[in-house]
Copies of this chain bind each other. A is one copy, B any other.
Amino acid sequence: MTLQKVAIIGVGQTRFGNIIDKKAEELFAEAFLEAVNDVDKGIDISEIQEVYIGNSGVGGGQLGNFSSLMTDYVGLTGASALRIENACASSGFAMRAAILAVSSGVCDVALAGGEEKMNDTPRNRVRYWLGISGDMEWERLSGMTFAGVFALMAIRHMHEYGTKREHLAMVSVKNHKNGASNPKAHLQRETTLERALASPMIAYPLTLFDCCPISDGASAVIVCKADLAKKYTDTPVYVAGHGGSTDRLSVFQRDDVTSINSSVVAAKRAYKMASVKPEDIDVAEVHDCFTIAEIIAYEDLGFCPKGKGGKLLEEGQTEIGGKIPVNPSGGLKSKGHPVGATGTGQIYEIVNQLRGSVEKKNRQVSGAEIGLTHNTGGSGGTTVVHILKR
């Protein structure tokens, strides 16, 4: 089955971080305007006919009819718009919905984006909001937080495959190193293996440096029919494949807690549609909400055999310059994780990597032609994967 091809013609992203002086709609507008200005041959925003916005609803403010407030604020009133909530994968699924809208032929140009404000809400409230993206009845009400769920996955991975706490810390060190050179990252500083290992324990074996921060931010991506792309830009990036999937919501119901099946299935679908294999991927942004999640993602996405994620790190293969650089942006760990903005933020990074337009050359993966994004909701209840080609 051949789908109508889709191209990305503009991307934008705010700095991720503790941004308490901007409202949700101001953050979204900043990312949107950057995406519009990124369309190098220009676009009239009235050409944007469909809008898909990811927002998990953390915090307060406008929680209902969110898409209408956003289109209102940026001058897109009249476009068909909707808000998608798939926990931490909200804007990854917004991206896929925008692609499907263009593929369907209902419009020529669509906008995907995401936004989240988390730091103007008390921490216990944020913990509640994040918690409800995992299973409420069996996990949260028995006191298990997300750090607890990923800690269980880590412990089992260590038991089954000999993964060590040092491997987890290596993810942190790598992603902080990348994020330190990313002017849009939340935590723009490096760390060391020693510091990561010695940082406060959150849920054994996960320390503070194994957990991503609580961030504010927004991101936006403009897509169009592939055969119209050159009208808008000299450097389109094409959507080669995509796939979404669900898994059992609660980890205890899954056959294997050392893998996230929604990632495996979503990736399989995306690879098939793109007619590429894991070894064809030149650069990837994966969902490292906790360091163990990045190791599991290597394996679920086929970057290495099952259980060999630690070895891949030891060999430095996922660093910039390695065989398959992962999270050159700094990932959720260092770039930050404004929940609803993360998915299209990953697209922002990969598009710049494929164009060769990363602002600092030490973060640029040289000659990258095929990139992948992997965005997971909660502990894997939902996952969406995109494969992009320049």
- Chain A residues with a Cβ under 8 A of chain B: 1-4, 50-51, 56-57, 61-69, 71-72, 76-87, 93, 96-97, 100-101, 103-106, 129-130, 132-137, 243-250, 253, 261, 265-266, 269, 377-378, 381-382, 384
Select A77's contact among B3, B64, B248, beta carbons within 8 Å.
B248
- A134–B65 touching, CB < 8 Å: yes
- B80–A244 touching, CB < 8 Å: yes
Residue numbers in B under 8 Å from A68 (CB-CB): 86-87, 246-247, 249, 377-378, 381-382
A72 to B380, CA, bound (A): 12
- A69–B100 touching, CB < 8 Å: no
Identify which of A64, A78, A96 gathers the most chain B CB atoms within 10 Å of its CB: A64
A296 to B133, CA, bound (A): 38
Give the number of copies in the complex: 2
Residue numbers in B under 8 Å from A96 (CB-CB): 80
A64 to B89, CA, bound (A): 10
A2 to B378, CA, bound (A): 38
- B132–A63 touching, CB < 8 Å: yes
- B253–A72 touching, CB < 8 Å: yes
Please give the distance in Å from A113's CB to the nearest CB on chain B.
14
Do A78 and B1 contact each other (CB < 8 Å), given the known contacts A62-B132, A66-B85, A85-B66?
A: no
- A78–B133 touching, CB < 8 Å: no
Residue numbers in B under 8 Å from A97 (CB-CB): 82, 97, 100
- A244–B82 touching, CB < 8 Å: yes
- B3–A65 touching, CB < 8 Å: no
- A79–B132 touching, CB < 8 Å: no
Residue numbers in B under 8 Å from A265 (CB-CB): 78
- B72–A249 touching, CB < 8 Å: yes
Residue numbers in B under 8 Å from A261 (CB-CB): 78
Residue numbers in B under 8 Å from A81 (CB-CB): 86, 244, 246, 382
A72 to B378, CA, bound (A): 14
Do A65 and B100 contact each other (CB < 8 Å), given the known contacts A82-B93, A83-B86?
A: no
Residue numbers in B under 8 Å from A51 (CB-CB): 246
Please give the distance in Å from A110's CB to the nearest CB on chain B.
10
A2 to B137, CA, bound (A): 46
Residue numbers in B under 8 Å from A66 (CB-CB): 85
Q: Can you report 23 A-B residue pairs in the complex whose CB atoms are below 8 A from each other?
A: A57-B64, A57-B85, A62-B132, A62-B136, A63-B129, A64-B85, A64-B133, A64-B134, A65-B133, A65-B378, A65-B382, A68-B377, A71-B246, A77-B246, A80-B266, A81-B244, A82-B97, A82-B382, A83-B86, A97-B100, A103-B104, A103-B106, A104-B105
Please give the distance in Å from A225's CB to the nearest CB on chain B.
11
- B103–A246 touching, CB < 8 Å: no
For A68, give the chain B residue with the smallest CB separation. Answer: B381
A153 to B64, CA, bound (A): 21
Select A1's contact among B87, B105, B243, beta carbons within 8 Å.
B105
Identify which of A66, A71, A246, A266 gathers the most chain B CB atoms within 10 Å of its CB: A246
- B246–A64 touching, CB < 8 Å: no
Do A243 and B100 contact each other (CB < 8 Å), given the known contacts A63-B132, A66-B85, A133-B65?
A: no
